[in-house]
Structures are given as C-alpha cells and as structure tokens.
C-alpha cells in the first residue's frame, strides 16, 4: 500500500492509451506498467483537462 495514498482516493482507469496524461511521460509509463506504486496525481494532470468550475 502506498503510504502517500489516502483512504478516499479515486482510482482512475484509462480505457485507451490516448487517454494517458500527456504532460508527463513518466506518469503515463507508470500508469501503464507495473514498475512501482500507482502514480498519485492531481485531477488536472490525470485528465489533461482544465477545471470546469
């Protein structure tokens, strides 16, 4: 269990490689490959979209 993870964290699953975060290649790699803990990122980086409100 990642010590940085919180109890109420959300797991975001990507159904396509095109949906991976493009801002950081390392995060995209860690999201796809099991080479460590699941990357904990903010919602903006995870979706690559701007805040709606």
Partner 1 sequence: MKRGNIRPPVLPSSSIPPRSSGNRVSKTKPKNIDNLSWFILVLCLCFISFYAGIWMAWSISPQQKDCNSSSNMNPTISSTEPLQCEDTCLNAARRAGSHGDTLSKKLDLIFEERIDKICPGRNNDNSSTQNKKGSSNSKRFAKSLQHWIHGMVQINRQDLFNKFDFGMPSKLFSTMCLKLLL
Q: Is 26 in the site for partner 1 (CB under 8 A)?
A: no
Q: Is 23 in the site for partner 1 (CB under 8 A)?
A: no
Binder to partner 1 among 22, 23, 25, 43 (CB under 8 A)? 43
Q: Is 24 in the site for partner 1 (CB under 8 A)?
A: no
Distance of alpha carbon 25 from the chain centroid: 11
Q: Is 25 in the site for partner 1 (CB under 8 A)?
A: no
Residue count of the chain, please give it: 53
**What is the rounded distance in angstroms from the CA atom of residue 21 to the CA atom of residue 11?**
14
Q: Is 11 in the site for partner 1 (CB under 8 A)?
A: yes
**What is the rounded distance in angstroms from the CA atom of residue 46 to the CA atom of residue 26?**
12
């Amino acid at each position: 269990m990642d010590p940085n993870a919180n109890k109420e964290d959300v797991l975001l699953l990507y159904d396509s490689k095109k949906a991976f975060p493009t801002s950081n290649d390392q995060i995209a790699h860690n999201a796809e490959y099991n080479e460590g803990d699941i990357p904990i990122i903010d919602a903006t980086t995870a979706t690559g979209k701007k805040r709606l409100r």
